[in-house]
Structure 1
Amino acid sequence: MQDIQALFDQEDATALAARVRQGEVHPEELLEAAIVRLEKVEPQLNAVVERLYDKARQAAQQPTTRQGPFAGVPTLVKDLFSPLAGALMSNGSRALGGARPDFDGELTARLRRSGCVLMGTSTSPEFGTSYSTESDRFGATHNPWNLAHSAGGSSGGAAALVAARVVPFAHGNDGGGSLRVPASCCGVFGFKPSRGLLPSGPVVGEGWAGMGTGHAITLSVRDSAALLDATAGIDLGAPYAAPLASKPYRLALQADPSPLRIALVERVGPWDVSSESLEAARDAARLCESLGHHVVVESLPVVLEEFLDQVFNIIGASTRNYLDVLGQMRGAPVNEAEVEARTRVILRERGQVSGACYAAAVEWIHAFGRRMAAFMQDYDVVLTPTLARLPPRIGELQAVRDDWSIERLIEHFHSYSPYTALANASGQPAMSVPLYWSPGGLPLGAHFMGRFGEESLLLALAAQLERARPWQGRVPPVNACSLS
C-alpha cells in the first residue's frame, strides 16, 4: 500500500491510468489508497458530501475500469446539478432533502466511460451562487493552505481535495467562476471550457442562459486536456455547440505556442484590488514576457455594474424557475425557511422579473459576447487577476442578511471576484493558473481568457507556464501525502 500511496504523491491521473492499463496496479488498489487519503484530511477540510465507497469498490472490479484514458482513477463528482445515479444531489441546500436521482448526467456518464471510479460527491454552496463553499446544510469547506480561510466556490470541495492531494482531479462546474475561483484559492489548475463544449444534459438545457459549464479542477495541465478529450462534445438535443479541436487537446501541450499578444487588464469595475492580486497578475505578465509573449496594458469593453445587473436578472429568474420545478416534483412549494439568506435576497429582488426583462438580459450578454469577440481580434489572450484579494476567511462571504439589497449582495461577492464571470457571459474559455503565493503563504491564481473555441491555445500556454514554473511540488500544510 505504501508504494501505491507514493504513486499518488508523485503522479497525476494520466500517469496513474497508464499504470492501470499496463497491469502495474489495479483499480481496487488505487481506490483503497484514495480512501485512506480522503479520510486522513476530510476531518479538517469538510470537502465531501457523501462517501460512495461500496459502489466505488463494485465499479473498480469491472473490466471497464481497466481501460480508457483514466482507467481506474478515483475521483469525486460535485454536488451541484450533476446527477450521479443513487447519490444524494442536494445542490448544497436543505430544500432538496434526500433527493437521489436514478440516472447519471451525461458528463458523469462520460467520466465513467473514460475509466474513472466515482468514490463520492464534493461540497458546493447552495445552488452555486457563492464564491465560498459554505452552506447551512453542510458547513464550511476549509482551505488546505490555511484552515481559517475558505477553499473558494462554488467547486470548493473539488479544489480542496485536489490541492490536498487526495485525488489528482475532481469534477466541478462553473457559471461565474466556480472552477477558477477555488482553483486560485487552493493553488491548483482550473479550466472553464467554451460555452457548449461540454454536455449539460439531460437535466440542464442551458444553465443560467448558457453561462454554466462543467469540467474539472486538476493538479496538472495535461489531465485537464485529457479530460476534455474524454468528455467534450455536445449531448443529445444540446442548445449550444462549441467547435471541437481538429486534434486531441493533449497534443496542444507538446509545443510552446507562438508568441502571443496578451492584454493585461488589472481592474474591472469600481472596487479596490489588493496589492497581492495585482502582483499575481503582473508577475504572470512578466513570466509571459520572459517566454517571448507581448503584453500590453488594456481595458475591457464593459461597464461591470451594468453587466452584473443583467446577469442577476438571469440568475434570479433561473433560481425562481428551479425552485418552482422542485416544488412541483415533490408536491409541496419550497418555502423561504428552506433556503439561505443569499437565495432569499436573490428571489425577492430578481425572482419575479418579467419574461421581457429576462429576454433582454440574455440579449445583453450575447451582445457583450460579440463585443468581446471584436476585442479579441487584437489579442490572443486576456490576462487578469483571478481574485481581487486573498482567499476569504471562513464566514466572510457567508455573512448575508435578508434586508440586503441586490446591489449590496452583488458588491459583497463580485468585489471579491469581478473578473471571472465575464468569460461565462461571453462564452470564452478561461483558466486560473497557480503561479503566485502571497508572502503569507496563500495562493493567488493568474486568470487567462482566450477566444471562443480556442481551448488548445490556452492549454498550450498553460503547459508552457507549468514547465517554466512547476507548481505540483508546492504542497499545502494539510495534505494526504504519505510522508506528511
Structure 2
Amino acid sequence: MRLDEYAVHDGTGLACLLTKGEVSPKELGRCVEQAVAAVNPALNAVIELYPDALETLPEVASATPFGGIATLTKDFPIEAGRPAEFGSRLAQGFRAGHDAVYWTRLRTGGLNNIGRTSSSEFGVPAATESPLYGATRNPWNPQRGVAGSSGGAAAAVAAGIVPFAQGSDGGGSIRNPAAFCGLIGLKPSRGRVTGAPNGNAPLLGLATAFMLTRSVRDTATLLDLCHGPDAGDGYEIAPPVGTYLDAIKHRPHGLRIALCTRSWSGVQIDPEVLAATRSAAERFASLGHHVEEASPDFDYPAFLQAQKVIWAADAAAHMPAMARHMNRSVEEALGTSVYALYRWGLAISGAQLIEALAVYDRVTRQVGRFLAGNDLLLTPTSAMLPEPIGTFNPNRAGIDVEGVFNDLAPKETFTALFNATGQPAISLPVGRSRDGLPIGIQLVARFGREDLLLATARQIEEDVESGPGVWGQGRPVIHAGNF
C-alpha cells in the first residue's frame, strides 16, 4: 500500500481492507513507519516506535473489529513494560507495570500499540512543550502548538500517521488537542471507561482515557470496544441501551440545544472562534433543532480554586513516589510549571481537599439541573486559536500556581468544568480560521448520554464529509499523504 493511499482512510476503512485481504497488519505497520519518517521530523509528535511490536505484526488480519491496525499510545502508563515517562525528566526511563484494563479491551478488538506520542509534563500544562522531549508542532502550521496534554496523539492523527491514537483528558486534554488539530475528541462520562486496575477514574475522578479520531464511526466503535466497568470498581455507570455504532445510525430530531458563548473565566473568546461556534449553532438549527442562548449558573472562581486544590494535592501525593522510584530529586528534575503545582500542593490540608470536593459536588448538581432542561450544550472548545510555539512556555523561570492556571485558562475555560461534573463532552472540527487553522466546538450531553453526542456528531459529519480531508477541512500542510 502506498503512503498516500493509507493516509486517506480512517480506522474503519482500513479494517475493511484488512477483512478483504487487500492489506495486512504488517503492511499497515510499514506505512506507519514511513509516515513517521516523512512527517515526524517536522512535528515531534512520535517519541519512538517499538521495533519488537513492528516485527511481530501479523501477515493476516485477525477476526476482530479493527483486524490488527497499528496505533500509538500517549507517554503515560498504558501497556505493561512500555516506557511511560510523562514528558518529564523525573520519570525518564520509567515503564508501565501493568496493562490498563480498557487498553486490553482495545487490544482484543484488534489494536496494536507500536509506539508512543508526546505529552505535556505529567499532563499539567496545556501546551505540549515538555522539558524531556520539547515542543510538538501543529500539522496545519508548524509554527503553532497543539494544546495539551494529548498533543502528540492529535498531531499524529491529523498528519495521517495513524487513523486514531490514544489520549487522556483531565481538564480538556483530549478535546483541546482535537480542536487545535481538526479532529474528533470525545471525553466519555466518568466511569464509562474504567481506570482499572488503579481505580475508577484517575485524578480523584477528573480524568479519563480514550481516543482521538478522524471519524464518528471510529469513535463509536472504539467506545463499544472499551467501555464498561472492571471487577472491583467502586461504582458502575449504567450501560448503553445498544451499541454506539448503532446509535449513530439514528438521526436526532428537535433537540433542545443551549448555546453558550459567555466565557465563564472571563478570558476573551477569539472572534473567529466565536463566529465558528455561532455558525455551528445555525447549522444545528437548520437541521431542525431548537437552539437558544443559555448557560449553566455556577460559581466559576470557586470551581477554579477547587480545581487548583485537587490538581495540586494529586501532584503532592504522587511526585515524591516517582522521585523515590527513579532515585531522582523532585526539585531538580521537574519542569517549573509542574514543580510550582507540586510545591503549592504540599501545603494543602485534608480539610481544604474535602472542601474542594464539596464545591465540585455543588457545581455538579447545578450543571446537572441545567442539562435536565436541555438535551445538549454547545460551546467553543478552546477560547483561542492555536498559539505560536512558546507563547505559554511551561518551563519558564519564576512561574507560580497562578501562572500555571492563567496559562490553562484560554483552553480550559469551557472544558475543565465537565471533568469536574462528569458529563460526556466531545470536540468537533467544524471551522477554520482565515489563516487555515482548525476551530473546534464542544457538545456536552447529560451524564451517560454518549449515544446522543455521537448521533448528533454523525448528523453534522454527514453534512460536511463530502469535501476532502476530515470533515471537509482539506489536508494539513504536513501530512503523510503528501509523500
Q: How far 1:334 moved relative to its partner?
A: 3.6
TM-score (structure 1 length as normaliser)? 0.95
Change (3 A) 1:54 1:399: closer
Counterpart residue number, 2:443: 448
Alpha-carbon offset, residue 98 of structure 1: 0.7
Per the alignment, residue 323 of structure 2 pairs with 327
TM-superposed CA distance for 1:9, in Å, is: 3.0
The correspondence for 1:113, drawn from 83, 108, 131, is 108
Range with bigger deviation, 428-437 or 205-214:
205-214
CA distance in 1, matches of 2:471, 2:50: 28
Separation in 2, partners of 1:426, 1:271: 21
Q: What code does the residue aligned with 1:478 have? A: I
Give the deviation of 1:206 after TM superposition. 3.3
SS of residue in 2 equivalent to 1:436: strand
Q: Aligned match of 2:220 in 218, 225, 237?
A: 225
Q: Which amino acid in structure 1 is aligned with residue 69 of structure 2?
A: V
Q: 1:276: how far off?
A: 1.1
For residues 387-466 of structure 1, the aligned pairs below 5 Å read 387-399=382-394, 401=396, 403-466=398-461
Question: What is the deviation of 1:109?
Answer: 1.5
1:212 maps to 2:207: yes
Between 1:294-303 and 1:440-449, the stretch displaced more is 294-303
Paired residue for 2:309?
313
Structure 2: where are the runs of 5+ without partners? none
Read off the aligned partner of 2:237 and give its amino acid letter.
Answer: A
2:96 is aligned, of 98, 101, 107, to: 101
Is the partner of 1:10 in helix, strand or coil? coil
Alignment partners' CA distance in 2, 1:398 and 1:107: 33
C-alpha distance in structure 1 between counterparts of 2:167 and 2:443, whole Å: 19
SS of the aligned residue for 2:412 comes to coil
Q: CA deviation at 1:148?
A: 0.4
Q: What's the counterpart of residue 477 of structure 2?
A: 477
CA shift for structure 1 position 244: 1.8
**Deviation of 1:388 (Å):** 0.9
In structure 2, what is the Cα distance between the partners aligned to 1:60 and 1:414?
45
Provide the secondary structure at the position in 2 that maps to 1:191. strand
Deviations 1:437-471 (A, max 9, x none): 00110011011111000000000000001011223
SS in 1 for 2:248: helix
CA distance in 2, matches of 1:363, 1:16: 47
Which residue of structure 1 lines up, in the alignment, with residue 28 of structure 2? 30
Once the two structures are superposed, residues 6-41 of structure 1 have per-residue CA deviations (whole angstroms, 9 ceiling, x without a partner) of: 542332111211222332321111111121112110
Q: Find the aligned partners of 2:294 and 2:395 in 1 and give their Cα distance.
A: 34
Matches of 1:47 and 1:451, distance apart in 2: 34
CA gap of 1:405–1:36, structure 2 versus 1, over 3 A, is closer
Aligned position for 1:17: 15
Q: Deviations over 1:286-319 (max 9, x none)?
A: 1111111111111221222221110110000101
- Is 1:323–1:334's contact at 8 Å kept on the other side of the alignment? no
1:277 aligns with 2:269: no
Tell me how far apart the structure 1 counterparts of residues 398 and 95 of structure 2 sit (CA, whole Å).
34
Q: CA deviation at 1:472?
A: 4.2
Deviations 1:255-288 (A, max 9, x none): 2112111111102222211101111211110111
User: Which of residues 37, 51, 54 is equivalent to 2:52?
Assistant: 54
Q: How do residues 17-416 of structure 1 correspond to structure 2 at under 5 angstroms?
A: 17-60=15-58, 66-80=62-76, 82-267=77-262, 268-330=264-326, 332=327, 334-399=329-394, 401=396, 403-416=398-411
CA separation in 2, counterparts of 1:133 and 1:204? 26
CA distance in 2, matches of 1:299, 1:250: 30
1:144 and 1:186 in contact (8 A); partners too = yes
How far apart are the structure 2 equivalents of 1:395 and 1:85?
34
Q: Deviations over 1:76-96 (max 9, x none)?
A: 01112x332232110111101
Structure 1 196/399 Cα, relative in aligned 2: closer, same or farther at 3 Å? closer
Say whether the 8 Å CA contact 1:209–1:362 is kept in structure 2: no
Task: Please say if residues 320 and 330 of structure 2, whose CA atoms lie closer than 8 Å, have aligned partners that are also in contact.
Answer: no
RMSD: 1.7
Residues matched between the structures, number: 477
**Contact 1:133–1:153 (CA under 8 A) maintained in structure 2:** yes
Amino acid aligned to 1:292: G
CA contact (8 A) 2:103 2:226 kept: no
Q: Distance in 1 between matches of 2:161 and 2:138?
A: 14
Separation in 1 of the partners of 2:107 and 2:159? 23
SS in 1 for 2:106: helix
SS in structure 2 of the partner of residue 446 of structure 1: strand
Instruction: Give how far 1:353 is off.
Output: 0.7
* Contact residue 162 and residue 217 of structure 1 kept, 8 A: yes
Question: What stretches of structure 1 of length at least 5 have no aligned partner?
Answer: none
Provide the secondary structure at the position in 2 that maps to 1:269.
coil
CA distance 1:450–1:67, shift in 2 (3 Å): same
Secondary structure at the residue paired with 2:56?
helix
Would the alpha carbon gap of residues 401 and 31 (structure 1) be closer, same or farther in structure 2, given more than 3 Å must change?
closer
What letter corresponds to residue 32 of structure 1 in structure 2? R
- The Cα shift of 1:401 comes to 4.5
Separation (CA, whole Å) in 2 of partners of 1:240 and 1:424: 17
| Distance of 2:70 and 2:62 partners within structure 1 | 12
Q: Percent identity?
A: 37
> SS at the partner of 1:190?
strand
One-letter amino acid of the counterpart of residue 425, structure 2? A
Is the 2:381–2:427 Cα contact (8 Å) retained in structure 1? yes
Native 8 Å contact 2:25 2:57 kept in 1: no
TM-score between both structures, scaled by the size of structure 2:
0.95
Shift in Å at residue 237 of structure 1?
A: 2.0
